[in-house]
Structure 1
Amino acid sequence: MLSVVIPTLNAEKSLTRTLAALIRPTVRGLVKDVVIADGGSDDGTLGIAETAGAKIVKAPKGRGTQLAAGAQAARGEWLLFLHADTVLQPGWDEEVETLLERLEKRGEKGTSFAAVFKFALDDFSFWARMLERVVAWRCWLFGLPYGDQGLLVSRKLYDELGGYRPFQIMEDVDLVRRIGRRRLVFLRTPAVTSPERYLNDGYLARSSRNAMCLMLYYLGVNPDRIARIYSRR
């Protein structure tokens, strides 16, 4: 029924936990296959994926390109795009099943909505809680979740929208904007993401950088140009 697509690049430190959260839903039959779209890992990422029985697809480095390649290789009627450092919390599969069952009872074909999870960070600090609140407000005010909240979308809707574009950055915002706020469902289950980037750069610095990239995107700057700016900072 559901394919999970995970883009990876040297993700050995986090991938095991991400995949572990998919075991029970796979046994229960909700998850049909897991596709690892790898952008050239040279650590233990591919070994972890092989051990877990995931399908491996190699693609040029860049999240948009990798996600598009993974979606093409996936077999499910529904696609769940998930970052390699994000762990879905227990109960996520029941919530998704309930949502899909209600959709089926209404006779809908999967083009009326997409769903994302609740953003959370694997960090006990004050700054982590503040950022979670900021993300919650951003989602409520603007209907703008990011890729680290996961994205559940039917293949039919994904294909109708043209899927992920080959952007190195802002590929998540680009697709969510095409989905539209009215078609977004915000699930209750947390998707807990690694805080490593925020701890390395500092919460304020990292958040400011993300906000700058978003502003540039809305001003019409090419995402590949934004990625070059992003990588230099």
Structure 2
Amino acid sequence: MGHSPAEVTAVVPARNAERMLPRCLESLSQSGVAEIIVVDGCSTDGTVGLALAAGARVLSDEGRGLPWARTLGVRSSSTRWVLLVDSDVVFGLTGVADLLTELVEGGHDALQAGLESVGGPGYWGQALAHHHRTGRSRLWFGLVATLVDRDLMLGVGFDDSFKSGEDIELRWRMRQSGLRTAVSRRVVVEHRFAADDFEFACDQFLMDGTGLGRMIRKHGWRGARLMLLPAAAAVRGSALSLAQGQPRWLRYYLAFFWYNYAGMARGLAS
């Protein structure tokens, strides 16, 4: 028996996402999903109005953060599968159907689409996109565009103490439970960035580092190896940049290194 996107509810957490949201919601509507639920994070821009105009059901996370927003959206859905989608993602016309087919035929419990990151015209946006396209993290299961069984997701749940890094924390627990997670090589979605300036990039680094710090704090010695991740990524990225004759990215990796560890210190202390 085949499966259809009509058995899928898309859950889109969004906060001040009026620039990113329209293309995301349009792509989901065209894919044939049963419903789109936008969970608003107390936006002060036109996010809610745009979501309603696109036909989405809008809920509020009441300022409780991204993990809670995702949980609220999943809990409010009524289909067998849920698609967790960030507002900066754009699916192709058959992307949801193809991802569902791959999940079922491959026997996966959760499957993330592959990401093709695109940056704006500025240096930092281009650097972020370059890093996402060439770094090893592109092969790590996360929650950017992920299809999962609704009841399974509610059973596994999120750790609400993680305001960032909740995808790493969830990945660890799912693997420990013997669940099969993967990143699709067949379905690739467009992944954009909300801004392309230095401030946006640093905020990303700080959030990622804070999430790693909280992971280390929660998991103790088992999480200690995560301390090496930013350094390893910075060294690998710098080496690749030099090998490819692109030394312009070295400034990016220096900032990546510095602000990830600043965030990690914050995560360890909080």
TM-score, normalised by the number of residues in structure 2: 0.67
Task: Measure, in 2, the Cα distance between the counterparts of 1:119 and 1:198.
Answer: 18
Are the structure 2 counterparts of residues 81 and 228 from structure 1 closer, same or farther at C-alpha, using a change threshold of 3 Å?
Answer: farther
Q: Deviations over 1:79-107 (max 9, x none)?
A: 1111112212343123124225526xxxx
Number of matched pairs:
208
Correspondences of 1:1-233 after superposition (within 5 Å): 1-26=7-32, 31-61=33-63, 62-100=65-103, 102=105, 112-123=108-119, 125=126, 128-134=129-135, 137-138=136-137, 140=139, 144-148=140-144, 150-161=145-156, 163-166=157-160, 167-180=162-175, 183-188=180-185, 189-197=187-195, 199-201=197-199, 205=202, 208-209=205-206, 212-220=209-217, 229=266
C-alpha displacement of 1:115: 0.3
Which SS does the other structure have where 1:12 is aligned?
coil
Q: What amino acid maps onto 2:192 in structure 1? A: S
Alpha carbons 2:30, 2:93 under 8 Å: kept: no
Q: Which has the larger radius of gyration?
A: 2
Provide the TM-score with structure 1 as the length reference.
0.76
Cα distance, 1:228–1:49 mapped onto 2, change above 3 Å: farther
Do the aligned residues in 1 keep the contact of 2:114 with 2:138 (CA within 8 Å)?
A: no
- Identify the structure with bigger relative contact order (alpha carbons < 8 Å, sequence gap 6+): 1
Gaps of 5+ in 2: 1-6, 121-125, 220-262
RMSD of the alignment, in Å?
2.9
Query: For residue 234 of structure 2, what is the aligned residue in structure 1?
Result: none
Instruction: Give the drift of 1:50.
Output: 1.0
Instruction: Give the share of equivalent positions with the same residue, in percent.
Output: 21
Cα gap change, 1:228/1:18 in structure 2, threshold over 3 Å: closer, same or farther? farther
Check the 8 A contact 2:211/2:264 in 1, yes or no: no
With over 3 angstroms needed to count, the CA separation of the structure-2 counterparts of 1:164 and 1:221, relative to structure 1, is: closer
> Which blocks of at least 5 consecutive residues in structure 1 are unaligned?
none
How far does residue 7 in structure 1 lie from its aligned partner after superposition?
Answer: 0.7
The 3 A distance-change label for structure 1 pair 229 and 194 is: farther
Distance 1:192 1:65, change over 3 A: same
After TM superposition, give the deviation of residue 13 of structure 1 in Å: 0.8
